Amino acid sequence: MKTVNIIRSWAAALLIFSSTFSADAKKPRELWLGADISGTTHDEARGVYSTDTLGNQRENTQLMKDYGMNAVRLRVWVNPRGGWSGKEDVLEMARRAKALGMEIMIDFHYSDWWADPEKQNPPAAWKDYDLDEMKAALADHTASTLSYLKDNGIDVKWVQVGNETRNGFLWPLGKIDVNDMSNIANYAALTTAGYDAVKSVYPDADIIVHIDNGFDNPTYETIFDGLKANGGKWDIIGMSVYPYWAIKYDHEPDAASTLRDAIANIRKLHDRYDCDIMIVETGVDSSKPDEGLEFMNSLFDAVLNDAGGACTGVFYWAPESFLTLCPDGTFEGYALGAFQNRRPTSILNSYPRAVRLFNSPD
């Protein structure tokens, strides 16, 4: 249990992350370190549990807390298979986070299943709605889900209105294309309907509009200029930063360039829209944990020292997802988690290091 005790001692020694900095203007005023661990309960139901580095079974929320995280991100689907990521499942995970003193981000996909830039399918029950009906359904789903959490004693700090909506959401009504923004008014109207619904339940929650490809400044400016021009509302810009995908699809030559361009984008967006930015999704190749740790360390260094104080959070997507090393030396499983064979890799060591750097006086 030595490793577990060391990790817990790191967590116990941490100062409160949201303390205000005045000595170094480069640092953000607060730093939220978290993970999207929405799949935890589904994994448990299938008998899949996280372990520590020694192979001891651990509850995933507590394990993330032990690594120094102070927040969780939880997705919401509308009428999901088996109830996973429905409101009851989200409440279970939110209760675990609350018990550990962790802040909560709710990520509305506005779909019955995964929503991302390649698919933004409306819930089956909404598929024939016109714009006014869709706005009403979105608002009701948002408010009723959040009211359910609030009535059960859950505080929510951030809410995403849509997940990776670079191509819009609730297609075809809310579909957009950065090369043809003729439908931006619908996208803005749906976003605003979600924004207002959140504020009706949690007036102090920050609403996030989340786009992928964090390195791509022109796309961000096109979308957020369009939102602003059409009455769209947001409090924080959320971005995904995945060097793996940026390289795979020839958007960037390497991880260093991906990070450099994402940090430059953060600074530009902050200056243009006068709002904070959060990296609400990131991940690295867990088959190469040393390289992954190097990138995550570089990411946190850049957030703390090069982003002009504009980036206030970094959330890893599904770190508990693991690769399994096969007898032939190959790997099976999701590549961008932070575990191998159900055990944490060194990638997660970037989090306690980030906490120490954030709380250091220099």
Rounded Cα gap, residues 115 and 120, in angstroms: 5
Integer Cα distance of 344 and 323 in angstroms: 11
Q: Which range marks the domain in which residue 333 is found? A: 2-359
- CATH classification at residue 122: 3.20.20.80
DSSP 304-351: HHTSTT-EEEEEEE-TT-EEEE-TTS-EEE-TTSSEETTEE-GGGGHH
Please give the structure tokens belonging to residue 2: 């030595």
- Number of structural domains (the chain) is 1
Q: How do residues 88-108 score in pLDDT, each as one tens digit?
A: 999 999 999 999 999 999 999
- pLDDT tens digit string along 166-187? 999 999 999 999 999 999 999 9
Q: List pLDDT tens digits, range 295-338.
A: 999 999 999 999 999 999 999 999 999 998 888 888 899 999 99
> Is the torsion defined by CA of 245, 79, 338, 342 positive or negative?
negative
Report percent pLDDT > 70 for the chain: 93
Structure tokens at 347: 């990638």
Enter the pTM of the model: 0.93
